[in-house]
Amino acid sequence: MAAPVAAPAALKRTPLYNLHRELGAKMVDFGGWEMPVQYAGILEEHRAVRERVGLFDVSHMGEFVVTGGGALAALQALTPNDVSKLADGRIHYSAFLTEKGTFVDDLLVYRRSAESYLLVVNAGNTPKDFAWAREHARGDVRVDDHSARWALIAVQGPRSAALMAKVASPDPSDLPYYGFRETKVEGAPTLVSRTGYTGEDGFEVYCPPEDAERLFRKFLEVGRAEGAVPCGLGARDTLRLEAKMALYGNDIDDTVTPWEADLGWIVKMGKGDFVGRDALAAQKAAGVPRKLVGFEMVDRGIGRHGYPAKTGAGPGVVTSGTHSPTLGKPIGLALLPTAATAVDTEFEVEIRGRAAAARVVPTPFYKRKEA
């Protein structure tokens, strides 16, 4: 058996690194960061988030602050979603796109005020995104990289609101989905948003790095009554995949457009010009050649990232695949020729040289019940 390799020492660490070790986490290299992949086990952590509450260190994420009288106009040109529709204290999902209309990154835009926005980007893309934003931002606007000023703890699961109500003041549990406010957690100044990457109700707590360990310990202690457990990137991946949330570097990258990724809803063609708009208009007019769809295996096996797919309409590729803890069977996402993307279409995944049958299914694989 080929054993997984221990992470080398040159990796970046979050302010919670020592606590992860103390909690017995298995650490891995994730986009240049030494992060916990699991503590007790992926299946158990996954279940905790679906049924109770789980705590994730996502301090590796990048945060940019966009300020100035021209901040709104600049962001309208930098991102495809319509930033003018955001009210103070609200968030939307968006992207940076190349001139070809493909993803530089996917990201969240927080509107703090008409002249101040927070952008949250993927860890491994932070330097690239920052250079790209600086290069493309026009007008009376400033883009600053504040990634090192924030640690980020995600509190996810049906019991997350009960947990937040006990530790935060003012209580953020009345926040709407994709809303945020500044609040205090155990006296520490935090920004709390009702967001997440798990398909469950949940919160993301931005705090100063020096407060991160104290807050994480407090969440664990107070959350004990709610069944809270620390969760690693392994469970984060199975949770996001069940909810069909795209992962940069797996499902989307600078070869994939939002139309292809089934993320057309973040593109507002009517709002005015933005980077990538012309290419997206051209692709829409010409016809979108491939689409990201969910699949299940018909034959045994797990179709994983990078495995070739063969459809009646030509070749495709698996972008993500795992064993779904909730469904108890293999699931995945694949980029397939558009003609082969109707639900129930069968295709083949090449699993280490063996052709295994798979079938296109509706997504998301898992949708939480409304409270």
Partner 1 sequence: MDDLHYSESHEWVRVDGDIGTVGITDHAQKQLGEIVYLELPEVGHVFNADDEFGTVESVKAVSELYTPVSGEVVEVNKGAVAEPGIINDDPQGDGWLIKIKLSTDDEVRKLMTADAYAKYVREEQEG
The residues, any chain, with a CB within 8 Å of residue 64's CB and separated by 6 or more, are 118, 119, 121, 129, 130, 133, 143, 144, 145, 146, 147
The phi-psi region of residue 204 (left if phi > 0; otherwise alpha if psi is between -120 and 50; otherwise beta) is beta
Task: Return the bridge partners of 360, or none.
Answer: 295
* Least distance in angstroms from the C-beta of 43 to partner 1: 5
Complex with partner 1: residue 1 or 285, whichever CB lies closer: 1
Closest to 36 in 3D by CA, of 55, 50, 62, 63: 55
Contact positions vs partner 1 (CB under 8 A)? 1-4, 6, 26, 37-38, 41-43, 234, 237-238, 300-302, 304, 322-323, 325, 330, 352
Nearer to partner 1, 6 or 131 (CB): 6
When the beta carbons of 7 and 65 are compared against partner 1, the nearer one is 7
Nearest approach, Cβ of 250 to partner 1 (angstroms)? 13
Task: Look at phi and psi of residue 276 and say left if phi exceeds 0, alpha if psi is from -120 to 50, else beta.
Answer: left
DSSP assignment string, 311-352: ETTEEEEEEEEEEETTTTEEEEEEEEEGGG-STT-EEEEEET
In whole angstroms, the minimum distance from the beta carbon of 57 to partner 1 comes to: 17
Tokens (6 digits) for 340: 């082969």
Question: Could you tell me the smallest distance in angstroms from the CB atom of residue 53 to partner 1?
Answer: 20
Which residue number, 9 or 371, has a Cβ lying nearer to partner 1?
A: 9
Residue among 23 and 222 whose Cβ is closer to partner 1? 23
**Smallest distance, partner 1 to C-beta of residue 253, A:** 21
What single DSSP character describes residue 86?
A: P
